[in-house]
Structure formats: C-alpha cells, structure tokens
Structure 1
Amino acid sequence: MKVLKFGGTSVGSAESIKYVIDILQSQDKQVVVVFSALSGVTNMLVECMNHAASKNLQYKSIVEEIENRHFSIANQLINPQKVSGTLARIKQSINQLQETLEGISYIGEITPRTSDLILGYGEFISIQLLNAILSERLKEVTLVDARELIFTKPINGSENLAITETEQAIRHKLSVISGTVITSGFIATSIKGYPSTLGRGGSDHTASIIASAINAEMLEIWTDVSGIFTSDPSLTENAYPIPELSYAEALELSHFGAKVIYSPTIQPVMEKNIPVLVKNTFAADDEGTMIVEKPLVNGNVVKAISSINNICLVSLTGSGMVGVVGIASRLFRVLAKENINVILITQASSEQSICIAIDEKQGEKACEGLNAEFEFEIQLGRVKSVRVEEGFSIVAMVGEKMRHAVGVSGQAFSALGRNGINIHAIAQGSSELNVSVVVNRENCQKAVNAIHQEFFHSVNRVINLFVVGTGNVGSAFINQIMSQLGLFTSEYNIDFRIIGIANSRKMLLKPNGIKGSDWKERLMASKQSMIPDYFINEMFALNLPNSIFVDNTASEEISGLYHTILSKSISIVTCNKIAASSSYENYSGLKRIAQEKRVFFKFESNVGAGLPIIQTINNLVKTGDQIRQIEAVVSGSLNFIFNGFCDGMKFSDAVLKAKDLGYTEPNPLIDLQGIDVSRKLLILVREAGIKLEASEIAFNSYLPHALPSSYSSELFPEQMKGYDEYFEGVRERIVASDQKLRVVAQFDNGKASIALKEVDSNHPFHSLEGSDNVVSIHSKRYSSRPLVIQGAGAGADVTASGIFSDILSIINN
C-alpha cells in the first residue's frame, strides 16, 4: 500500500484536480490519499480570524469568497444531478465557520483552540468536495475523517502528536477498508476531546504518520514542482531537481527553509525506512526526488542550498562567561521557556560569546528574557546586555559528501567574498552535513546564486555585464559578446548576460538580460535618459552575483564613478584611460580598493588595444624582474597618420581618414596633442611599479603651431589643412633619407618623454605598418635584447577584443 499526499496547489482549481484524478486512476495498488485545503484558503482563514477579532466585518466577504471557490469547482466537476447534495454539505460547513467567526467578533479574542478550529475548516470543506468528485470517477472511495485518525496531546501549552493513540487509530480504521482511502491532512483531535491541528506542514506530517503506522511501501508527496531542487527555483534560475537525497539531507534542507517538504514529515518514515518520492502533479512523468536512507546517486559534494529570511542575531557576550559552567544551559532554558526556536548557534572558542539566530518576531522576547536571566552578571559588568541585530538571512549548504570533502567552506566563502557578501556568523553541525552562514537579508539571493554557481558545474555560470558606451568600440564589444553566447554556453558553461546598456543619451536595463541584434534600436527607443548615478544605483539595487561594469567611453564623469563601483564589490573593465592615468593617488587608490574588495580593475585595452602589453609587464614585475627602459609606439592613430603621410597622403587627409576609421579618440585633438600617448606611457610606467605623474612626462611638440583649444567637427577638416604645408617640407627630407616618422614614448633612467622621431631603415620601428603598436622593454632579465610586443594597436574590433579578454581573465581567476 502507498500513501499519496496532494498539496493545496494540486487541488486549487478544477483544472488542477483533473491532474489529481489522472494520477489516482493510474494507481494499480490500494492507496491512502491525504489532501490539503485548497491553495490560499488557510491564509484566507487567518485573515478572517484577524478581522473578526478586531471586529472588522470584512471577514464575511472572505468567507463568501471561500464558499464561491468550492461551489465553482463542485459545479464544474460533479454531475449536475448530484451536485446539490455536495453544495448543501459545503454550505453547512460554511455556516458553522461563519458562526464561529461571529463569536470571535463578539469577544474580540482568539484562543489557541479557536484558532485550530477555524484553520481546520479549510481541510474539512475541501475533503467533502473531493470525496464527491472522486466517488464519481474511482471504483471504490472511502472517506475517513482525519479527526478520527490523528490525535494530539497538550505539552507545555501546545499540542503535540500523541503517537500511540494515533497509530492505534490508524491501524484500526484502515485495516478493514478496501479500495481508495481519502482523508484530510493537518486537522486532528486532542485526546482531551477538542479540535486541534498538526501545525505548519501538517498535511505532509499527516501523510507521513499514516505511512509509518501502516508500514506503507512508499510515501508520495505531490506538489507543484518536480522534486526538491538544488536551490529554490524562485531564487535561482538554473536550479534543477535532485534525483536522490538521504533522510538526513532532507531533514537539514527542511530545517533551513526548503518549503517542498517539512521537518516533521521525515522522522516517521525514516524510522521505518519508507522511501519518500516528491513529484509534480502537473508533470507526472518527471522523475522527481527520491528520499531514502542511502541514495544510490551520490551527486555533488553539496547537494542543495537552502535559505531562511527574516532572521535576527541575538548575542550574549562578556569576559565573565569564560570558564563558567552553565551559561549555555541557562540561555537555552530561557529560550525553551519562551517557546523560541533556535535555528543556528555559534560560540567563540574563547567562550566569551554565544550567538544564536532566531525568527525576527521573537527577537525582542528573547532579549527581555535573557536580560532578566543574566541581570546579576550584567550589573557586575561580567556580561554585557544582550544585543539583538535584525535584517539577516541564513544560507545553508547541505550534502552528506561534505563530511569527506576538503575545502568546501573555503570555496563557498571565497565565492561570497568575490561578490562582496559579508558573513556575520558561521555554523557547521558535528555531522558535517551542512555549513550555514548568516548574511544581510538584501544579499540572500545573491549569496544563494553565488554558491550555487560555485558548486554546481553542470549549471551555467552567469556573468552579468553593465555596459556604458555604444560608440565604435562599445558596439563592437556588444556584438562580439552576443556572437559568442552560444559557444560559451555550450562549451564553457558560461552565460553572458548584458543587463544594462547606456550611451550619452539613453539607458536600458533588463534584469533578465538584453538579447538580440536589435539592441541598439531598443536602447534608443528607451524612455529613460542616461543619468550615470541612476544607472549605477540600479546596478547596485539589482545586486546580481558576478557583475562586471564595462566602460567603453572616454568620459571623465564615468571614470569618476569607479571608486563607488569597486567599493560595492563589482569588477571594472575599461578602455577609458582617464582613471589609470589620473593622479597617482587616485590610480593607486582604485587598485587598492579593488584588492580590498577582492574584485578586479582591468584596463589592458588602455594600451595597445588587444595586445597583451600590460599583462606582460605585470607578470615581469610579479616574478621579480626590474624594468629599466621602455621605448614604444603606442598610438595606433598617430602611427596610422604618419604611415599614411609617409606613403604620400597629405597630413590633413591622413588625420581625417584615421578619424573616420575610428582609430582616434572621439575628440581627435587628444591624439594630436599627445595626450593619448602620454596617458599610455604613464600607465605602462606605473604598471612597471614606478610612481609617476603626468606632469613629469616631457612632451616635445611636433607641430609648427598650437592646435585649436576645443574640437569642432565642422571646423576640424579646414583646421588640419593648416599643417599640410609644414609637413610637405618634412616629407622632402625624410623621403630623401628613407626615413619614417614615429611618435615615440620613452622611459629611461627615471625620465619619461614623448617626441616625434625620424627613424631610419635599420631601426625596429621603421617597419611598422598601418595602426601597429610596438613596445620594447629592457629589464634586468631582458638586458641585451629587449622583449618586444607588436601588433595592431587601434581599431574598434581589436580594442573590443581586449575588453573581452579582460572579462575572460576575471572569469578564469
């Protein structure tokens, strides 16, 4: 014989009940079926009680709604010629409910017994409805009143299961019945004779008690999800069902908030070694989750992650606790007296503090009770007044294999640290089945997802990108990301999601990601104007794990937000050179905050676009090399301009072509004034471990007269023609001697400079083509022959690939 339990969502509507009928009609053995109240009805009954106790007549309309829901299902599923009898029985129960609520309204008080009586109506009415429906569709259906099966007894003011009386009643009643037996969950009778209930999760508990009493071959829990998942699917998008769990694992998960199954459900079947199968009423063919003593499928080290919200921490601290026997005993005695459930406890090894995690609603009561208990010690200064801190959640990792695995806690803590999530308390059971951490409530979902992605490698790791700047480089970057989505998902289990896109005018934010090649049109159609502070505050509010801010602009305003972004534990990847070439204090401060927050500040594309120049210098320095000299052509735009000039183009034409191809900054004066080269040299020197300010770089102007003070796209072409005559004279000289013009950035003997040089045919810089960059590094190790890095150093695609590479570097680290 099997026991099946159907929850509220399984019987919440006529359509849902049809699924239940199909499941019951497919059974080939005798079954006992336990039903809950219709979904939402128990909460409606709680509302009714509260309204009635406060003399608010609104309870009458809620009762009418309960009646209408049951009547509607009856009219849809019961033979019209027989439905009147069912409606009459439901109406009789509704009238009794109404009378009880009126009594509460008169006295303005709810007693525990009255509460149990009211709450039991949900199951009592639903079972009458379901009995009528199933009797028309199954061969033999027998309704057994759960109040004649399940008994409780009062202990310390609350009703607890009367095991002996209950088991005797179940065996006596059910042993003489054939066919399908149906009964209600949750409701019971006190051995004192009054109505009672089994409390939260009571319907599951009822089914488990019956399964244990009759030694059922299996208990099936039918709900609205396909088993117990690796995490709550409402919190974790890529959570998936677990094939098998042990009883111990299921107990731990239920204790730490898993709602599919409740703690009391496990104990009765575990004692009899009865398997529990959790299935989906609406997807009966799904395998579900089997709970047994020893699972055949071991699965991951961490089987699942669960969480509880609305937690407060209660701390008892003081040097007077050290070595004193009985402190913990007194603390727990107070909590037991106040009927306060302790979810988590941790104690300092020095014995100077005990911290417990409890429901926030019980925090004040716990504080008052403990302060009264330790009043004498508090007055003497041996113990401090009890402190209550609210606004927390518990995140628990559960798995039997954790007891044999090394580094599980460290791996989880590292994942939380990378995402800027502070841990306020830690606990691990002696069984090593779980590791629990307390985090701020607003970080609960982020913590669950961070840990889930860390341990479940079959799950795609989601990387959330917030992209500012959609010019040539920004557009190329977004297109590169979108073109590679399939590859990274299928080959590397990485799911890139562009959550936010912004340019100087518009911003677009989508928590589930912006997809499709029409992203630019959707951005420009957005009604939200770009306000940088608003954009990053929305990014902070989303609080997504593995977030990366990507700056594809040349904006000083955006770079000014870096410190705030890094302080929120969000990594930054940027081709914007302003921050890394700002004051040394700001540059080093950004690197310091990134290190403190365990995130990344990456700017490889600041120099050489996609060339691995900064990375190479970093590796040299980290391995103990000392860089003595840097000589470089690091402006792809200027190199393109002077290559074009040397090949016969007018200087002005070469400048305009470089701008049109996207090789220059949006303001090309930055390139022509040497500002861009200066920034790049400054960054290289600093990354070599040398403190340098921009003012210390000597710039030898290569132009015959000053450039315009500001950029105007209309005036710029004509302004450039003013330099053509001068450079034609230069051309005659260098052509005659087979030389090329190169803007060379140099650091040597502690001095930095930038100058336009005429290099002859045997110089390594002579052969540079197009927008190529080259960096020549002399160091302690590379003293006789330099380390040379050369390649394309400008252009939207290569710069975008450098940004993409920085993101991949963050993921790999």
Structure 2
Amino acid sequence: MKVYKFGGASVKDVNGIRNLAKIVSKTDREPLMIVVSAMGKSTNALERMLGLRFSGHSFKEAFETFKKQHLHICRELISDFEKVKKLLNSDFDLLEYRLGLKELMSYDYEYDQIVSMGEIFSTKIIHAYMEESRLESRWLDARQLILTDDNYRAARVQLEKTVDTIREASSNYNGISVVQGFIAHNELGNTTTLGREGSDYTAALLAYALDVSEVTIWKDVDGVYNADPKIFEKTKLIPELSYRDAVELAFYGASIIHPKTIQPLQKKKINLRVRSFYYPEKLGTTVASKKKNENLPSSFIVKKNQVLISLVPRDFSFMDAENMGLAFQILAKHQHHINLIQNSAISFSVCVDFNHAHFHSLIQELADKFELRYNENQVLVTIRHYDVALIEKIYDLLRFKLEQRNRSTYQVLMSEEEFELKLLPILN
C-alpha cells in the first residue's frame, strides 16, 4: 500500500490532472491511496462566495464562474462529458442551495459545509478521468472515513474510530482509491475541516491507519528548500530532515508541510517524501526518524497577513499568569493562531494570523478586558540557524515592531513595506 498526496497546484488544470494519472500509473499495480486537494484556487473562490453571502452581496456571478471552470476541465478531459456533468450537477445544485439559504448558521459551520465542496469536485473529476484512462479506481468520501469533534474549521481527529473506519474501507481492495484531503465529519454527520492546507494531515492519517512505510507529497517544487523559491532568488534544497527539524519548520510557518502532519508519521516511524510533480524522477526531500541535523543551512520563513496585538491591564496591575491566561483564552476562543509572544511587567504582545471572520469580535472582547493597540498587515520573518552578522545587519537597517531570538531562531515583525523594500533585498 502506498499513500500519495496531490496539492491544488498539482491539479489546477487539464495538464496537471493528466500528469497525476501518469504518475499514478507507474505504481506497479500496488494498492494506492491518493489524497487530493481542491483544484488550483478553488478554495479561495469558495471562501469568496461565502464572504459575499455573509456580507449580503450576491454570490451568483462568482458561483457561475466557479462552475464553468470545473466543467471546462471536464469537457477537455473526458469523452463522455454529459455523464460526468450530470454527476457534478447535483453537487453544484447543493452548493448553490447552501449558499442561498435565508437563515445561515455560524460562519465557521457554514465554512465547513461550503468550502469543503472544492475537494468533492476535484476528486470526482479525477476519478472520472481515471476511468477514462482505464486505471482501476474508486471514489472514497473522506467525510465517512475521518471522525472529528465539533470544532469547525480546525477540527480535532478522534484517532481510534478513524483508524477503524479507514481500515474497514481499505480491506479487500487493491486498486486506486481517490480520497479528499482537508475534510472530515463529526458525530452528528456534519462536515468538518482539518484546517487550511490540511490535506497533508489527511494523508498522514491514512498512512498511520494502514501502516504504510512511506507517504509521498507531490508539490510544484523539487522538495523542501531553506526558503520559498517563489519569494527568494537563492535557495537550497534540503535532501534530508528529521521529524523534529520538519516540525520546527512547519511550526514557524514553512508552507511545504502542514504542522499536524508529522505527529502520526513519527508515532509509527513512517517516512515522508516531498517530490516534484513536474520532475518525478528527482528524489526530493525525505523526512524520517533520525537525529536532528546540526548542519542545516539557514532557513527563511515568511508569514504575511499578520496582526500585532499589544495589551496592558486596565488597572495597571502586572501582566501575570492570570492576565496572560485570560488573553490566551480569548485568542483561542476567536481562533487566532499565535506565532510570537513577548511580555514585560505590565504589557503583553502577540503576533497572530489574521482571521477575518473573527477579528472584529476578538478585538471587541480584548478591548473590554485590556487597554489595546494593534497593527494589521504585518510580516513575520523567521530565520532558523541564523547567521549573527546577518542579524546585526537587519537590526541596523530595519524599523521593526518586534524582535526575538534564541540559540537557533531569530524572528522579526515589520510592515509589508519594510519587508519588500528593505529586508527582501538583504536576504536575496
């Protein structure tokens, strides 16, 4: 048994799906689970439709564009277009119905019911193309395989029940199973999601349940680099990483691997391979059970769309464990992931990912409890295994809002303008 995961960039168009089938066809008849994300920018498009609906604007034009894009791919790929169109139309009707409901529930609940449809469309189209290409395959619904709690948009997996369900669904089948990444279900049968970019985690859960020796994530890059090649001019491929190295990179925001992915793999010492979708002959990067690598190059991780929030107790008391605990509770309640923390005797600052659906309510509740200042549209840059001379240069040239370092990691927060005009030229 093998587990492959294909991201949205890998299946963004007709050529991508054809390339996926070509890679899959070379698995020597071994049973294979392929986990697939939504096509290209489909998740963004669905999020936009949902945002239009909640803001009281018409989603119809965006919906029609989304539908036409998917049906165009079907027409190019599949000879019996009418058959697959009929198959997808029921899902398009469901999506349109859901968006058009007069009474909506919470944003997070509706997000999971609507945005999850991207993976449904992509996997049904790919499964239809598998049949077109005479590759023995079946379509599996991840909403029936992976069980979670009710924490919509960031659901926590109930592992034991999930393992049992996956094993039962996989027994006595030796072909290709096409499964959605990112999506799951709760005890009520409602769709939940595992967090943005959660398809890697889905692949890891399948590998854990099925005791495979290796998971392959197919990307539009050759492996794990020390910096994002789309941002930085000079980058280095890292051929091998330990689980710990990978977790640390993911924690600080390296987009190549979802942060939750490593834990189930580490428990059973399952290797993770990150390989190029465009150049499958390249070996890529292997993440495995080995000692932490002390000779890794400096890694540069950039997280945009950050918010710096600074708090002071209203009674001018110390920012003690009680006050910090209250701030943490409020941040968790409003689903804002913390990336950096700094405090003094009477102040507490955090850098968080901007969550537009909950930001206004977060600021309101924090302002009720603390004196509050915040800065939006910030950029957090993390340098792992930093060079001291580079850090001193950054310190001299930048007007940053927050800085922090330890033995191996340096982090600095600044405006987008400072990043683009001053820091990026230094790092390149």
Change (3 A) 1:183 1:306: same
Gaps of 5+ in 2: none
Change (3 A) 1:158 1:50: same
Give yes or no for contact 1:317–1:353 (8 Å, CA) kept in 2: yes
**Structure 2 equivalent of residue 215 of structure 1:** 211
Gaps of 5+ in 1: 375-384, 403-407, 454-813
Say yes or no: does 1:413 pair with 2:391. Answer: yes
* Structure 2 counterpart SS, 1:27: coil
Give yes or no for contact 1:252–1:434 (8 Å, CA) kept in 2: no
**Structure 1 equivalent of residue 10 of structure 2:** 10
Say yes or no: does 1:306 pair with 2:301. Answer: yes
**Structure 1 equivalent of residue 34 of structure 2:** 33
Give yes or no for contact 1:32–1:182 (8 Å, CA) kept in 2: yes
C-alpha separation between the residues in 2 aligned to 1:111 and 1:324? 33
Decide which of 264, 267, 284 is 1:268's aligned counterpart.
264
C-alpha separation between the residues in 2 aligned to 1:421 and 1:327? 32
Once the two structures are TM-superposed, the CA of residue 210 in structure 1 deviates from its matched residue by 0.8
C-alpha separation between the residues in 2 aligned to 1:53 and 1:346? 35
Once the two structures are TM-superposed, the CA of residue 337 in structure 1 deviates from its matched residue by 3.6
Letter in 1 for 2:404: A
- TM-score w.r.t. the length of structure 2 is 0.88
C-alpha separation between the residues in 2 aligned to 1:62 and 1:157? 22
Give yes or no for contact 2:109–2:153 (8 Å, CA) kept in 1: no
CA offsets, 1:697-736, max 9 Å, x none? xxxxxxxxxxxxxxxxxxxxxxxxxxxxxxxxxxxxxxxx
Change (3 A) 1:391 1:48: closer
**Structure 2 equivalent of residue 46 of structure 1:** 47
**Structure 1 equivalent of residue 339 of structure 2:** 343
Number of residues paired by the alignment? Answer: 424
Change (3 A) 1:158 1:179: closer
C-alpha separation between the residues in 2 aligned to 1:204 and 1:157? 16
**Structure 2 equivalent of residue 73 of structure 1:** 73
Decide which of 160, 165, 176 is 1:180's aligned counterpart.
176
**Structure 2 equivalent of residue 435 of structure 1:** 410
What is the 5 A alignment of 1:322-401?
Answer: 326-348=322-344, 351-360=345-354, 365-373=361-369, 385-398=371-384
**Structure 1 equivalent of residue 255 of structure 2:** 259
Change (3 A) 1:69 1:345: same
Once the two structures are TM-superposed, the CA of residue 99 in structure 1 deviates from its matched residue by 2.1
C-alpha separation between the residues in 2 aligned to 1:48 and 1:370? 29
Once the two structures are TM-superposed, the CA of residue 217 in structure 1 deviates from its matched residue by 1.0
Once the two structures are TM-superposed, the CA of residue 263 in structure 1 deviates from its matched residue by 0.9
Once the two structures are TM-superposed, the CA of residue 30 in structure 1 deviates from its matched residue by 2.4
C-alpha separation between the residues in 2 aligned to 1:86 and 1:437? 50
What is the 5 A alignment of 1:156-235?
Answer: 159-235=155-231
Letter in 2 for 1:183: V
Change (3 A) 1:61 1:188: same
Say yes or no: does 1:129 pair with 2:107. Answer: no
CA offsets, 1:479-533, max 9 Å, x none? xxxxxxxxxxxxxxxxxxxxxxxxxxxxxxxxxxxxxxxxxxxxxxxxxxxxxxx
Once the two structures are TM-superposed, the CA of residue 127 in structure 1 deviates from its matched residue by 1.4
Change (3 A) 1:339 1:13: closer
Say yes or no: does 1:316 pair with 2:302. Answer: no
C-alpha separation between the residues in 1 aligned to 2:93 and 2:408? 50
C-alpha separation between the residues in 2 aligned to 1:34 and 1:450? 38
**Structure 1 equivalent of residue 116 of structure 2:** 120
Higher relative contact order (CA 8 A, sep 6+): 2
Letter in 1 for 2:413: V
* Structure 2 counterpart SS, 1:277: strand
**Structure 2 equivalent of residue 444 of structure 1:** 419
Say yes or no: does 1:94 pair with 2:76. Answer: no
C-alpha separation between the residues in 1 aligned to 2:301 and 2:187? 36
* Structure 1 counterpart SS, 2:150: strand
C-alpha separation between the residues in 2 aligned to 1:330 and 1:67? 45
Once the two structures are TM-superposed, the CA of residue 55 in structure 1 deviates from its matched residue by 5.1
Give yes or no for contact 1:208–1:265 (8 Å, CA) kept in 2: yes
What is the 5 A alignment of 1:495-514?
Answer: none
C-alpha separation between the residues in 2 aligned to 1:254 and 1:67? 34
What is the 5 A alignment of 1:245-256?
Answer: 245-256=241-252
What is the 5 A alignment of 1:644-659?
Answer: none
Give yes or no for contact 1:7–1:36 (8 Å, CA) kept in 2: yes
C-alpha separation between the residues in 2 aligned to 1:205 and 1:217? 16
Letter in 2 for 1:314: I
Change (3 A) 1:323 1:230: closer
C-alpha separation between the residues in 2 aligned to 1:50 and 1:356? 27
Letter in 2 for 1:102: G
Change (3 A) 1:366 1:197: closer
Give yes or no for contact 2:154–2:195 (8 Å, CA) kept in 1: no
C-alpha separation between the residues in 1 aligned to 2:150 and 2:175? 35
What is the 5 A alignment of 1:324-723?
Answer: 326-348=322-344, 351-360=345-354, 365-373=361-369, 385-398=371-384, 402=385, 408=386, 410-417=388-395, 420-428=397-405, 432-445=407-420, 449=424, 452=427
* Structure 1 counterpart SS, 2:283: coil
CA offsets, 1:13-46, max 9 Å, x none? 1111121111111113322101111111122222
Once the two structures are TM-superposed, the CA of residue 50 in structure 1 deviates from its matched residue by 3.0
C-alpha separation between the residues in 1 aligned to 2:152 and 2:124? 34
C-alpha separation between the residues in 1 aligned to 2:264 and 2:413? 30
Q: CA RMSD in A?
A: 2.9
Change (3 A) 1:424 1:53: closer
Percent pairwise identity: 26
Letter in 2 for 1:34: V
- TM-score w.r.t. the length of structure 1 is 0.48
